[in-house]
Every structure is written in structure tokens, then in C-alpha cells.
Amino acid sequence: MIKHRYFAGRVLVYGLISVTVMLSVAMTGCNNKNNISEESIKTETVQPEGNNQSEEGSESDVNEQSSDIHVEPPVIHGISDKTYYIGSKVSYMTDVYATDFSGQEIDVEVDKSQVNTSQPGSYIVYYKAVDSDGNETIEEATFTFIEEETQEVKVNSSYSTLDEVVAAVLQDITDNSMSKGQKARAIYKYAHTKIGYAGNSYTQSSEWQDEAFEALKVIKKNGYVSGDCFTYASVDRALLEGIGSECIWVDNQGARSGDHSWVLCNLGTGWYHFDSTRMYDGFECFMLTDSQVQDYINRGNSIYRRDMSAYPATPSEEFSY
């Protein structure tokens, strides 16, 4: 479970000036092996000499200075628990960034010194952001590493082709009374709930058809599978094409979060963005227009940035079914 801790950076008090010194071990960058410990706090009281006015300025001066200092802690975005296979490449900063009280993006430090990617288990990763006024936020997430053998990469079943397993899934989740839009919504719900987000695709295959085939077979057998955006997009495309939708594979470009894939689909009323991937902020990308996706990007989420000239434009009207 993700935990949040916030710390006010500075305290100014006129009269008796209480100087709070926060002694903490700073979070390390990627290569430092020091651990973050709980902060110890030491308070000293300094008694000004003479009257109540300090030598450096009047009370109004102090108030004016203190008004320039903000105590709102930074906000770290995109922290989430992750699951990876042992020995796989790990991305600690995917979707992670921080903003200060004004919305300005600031640096995030990550301490992964407790993680052992070669041993199964759950490990705490710490993230830290400090703004220009010294306000500090520390958050933590759990990174879990599992043996790849805990999932069957190949599942023996009666399905010998992708078309067969797609037909079986669609028979379970749709019926002839549904419109194409309703079927697409059922597909979104199926992939979104049956695939758990992990740091790797299910099969590690470079072919989306292979990924969809194996993932759908596992879901049919066990009711659940773990994968990354490649798994979601592969299953989305296979099932959407199964109901007669046209699909185009989309890859992001220049995004902070690194690589991300999804599909554009056309159910007969134009191209719309379709991505059943579980987003850390709960965002749902079901049949969205370019404008709706751009609104999400404008809120600081770069995952859907792409080469606009490489893909057809969506309608201006929101999708309805």
C-alpha cells in the first residue's frame, strides 16, 4: 500500500523564535545505498536581547518575509505499487513526477536501495521531492518480484488459434442484441478487469497476436493474467477486430513515462482512442477523441503524446453508443 508523508519546510515566529532543525537522512539517487530513516527533530529556543524588535528588522519586515514562504508540500504524481518478474528490467520513474504549490514541475529523488531484483519478495521504494522553500514530501511504493514460473507462459487448451479464443471470449461477454459500441464497452471492461498491471508483457513476445493469444487463453483458464500496456493493447485489438472494428496500433513519442501503446479503433463512426490499461489516477481511455486525450495531456500526463501526423484524426464529437 502506498503511504504519504508531508513535512513543512520553514517556521517563522516573532517574539520567541523557535528554530526547528529537522535532521533527516536525505533520500538517495539511483546509485546511493543509504536508507531513508524516520526524521529526528531537535528544537532550540533563542531569546532575543532587548525589546521585542529584532536588530534586523521590524515586525512588519518579518511578516513581509514570511508571506513569501509557502508551506504547502510538493505533490508527487504517479506513485504506484508494481510487480515484476525476477531479473527483468525495472522502471522506477514511469509516470512519476512532482509539482510544487504553483504547479511547477520539480525533481523527484528515488531510493531503491532496499530492492533486490534477483530475489522474490516485496520491497519498499521511497520517492522524495523538495521545493524551493524547503517543503518536503516523501512517498513509498511496494515493488514485488515473482518467479516467472508462477505463471504458465504456455497454457494447454482446446484453442489452437487466436480467432478461436477470441470467439469464445466474445460469446461470454457479448450478445447479438448489443450495438457495436456496447460490445466495445464490454471488451474494455473485460480487459480492464481481467488484466492486472505488471512491469512486463505476459509472453515477452514482440508479436501482438502471440501476446493476445496466450493472455486470452490464461484468462479463460484462470480468470486473470498480469501484463503491461503491450498486453492490454494486444487483447484490446484482438477482441475489437473480433467484433468487426478496424484498429491501428499507436505508440507514444517523447513522453516522460517512456514507451506506451494503445489502439485507435473505428466502429463505423470514425477513429477513437481505446486503451484498457489500468491508469494510476483512474483515468479511462474508452473511445476518446483527440481533444479529450489532449485535455488529459494538458493536465500533465504525457503518456499519450504521439506523432499526430502519423495517425488519422478523430471526430470532434464525443463517442456515443
The reply to whether 127 and 175 lie within a common domain is no
The reply to whether 172 and 258 lie within a common domain is yes
320 domain-assigned: no
Strands 82-85 and 136-146: parallel
Count Cβ atoms below 10 Å from residue 60 Cβ, excluding itself.
8
Which grid cell is 181?
A: 459500441
pLDDT digits (tens, 9 = 90+) for 189-217: 999 999 988 878 888 788 999 999 999 99
317 domain-assigned: no
Q: Are 220 and 184 in contact (CB under 8 A)?
A: no
Residues in CB range of 262: below 8 A, 6 or more apart:
229, 232, 233, 236, 250, 273, 274, 275, 277, 285, 304
- What SS3 class is residue 272? strand
pLDDT at 253: 86
pLDDT at 295: 95
Residue 86's domain is classified under what CATH number? 2.60.40.10
Query: What's the domain range around 162?
Result: 152-310
316 domain-assigned: no
Which among 130, 148, 166 is the end of a domain?
A: 148
The reply to whether 32 and 106 lie within a common domain is yes
Residue 238's domain is classified under what CATH number? 3.10.620.30
315 domain-assigned: no
Phi and psi dihedrals of 145, rounded to 5?
-120, 130
Count Cβ atoms below 10 Å from residue 162 Cβ, excluding itself.
21
Parts of the chain with a pLDDT under 70 = 1-67, 148-157, 254-258
319 domain-assigned: no
The reply to whether 19 and 92 lie within a common domain is yes
pLDDT at 236: 98
Residue with cell 504506484: 80
- How many alpha carbons fall within 13 Å on the CB side of residue 115? 27
The Cα–Cα gap between 61 and 127 comes to: 36
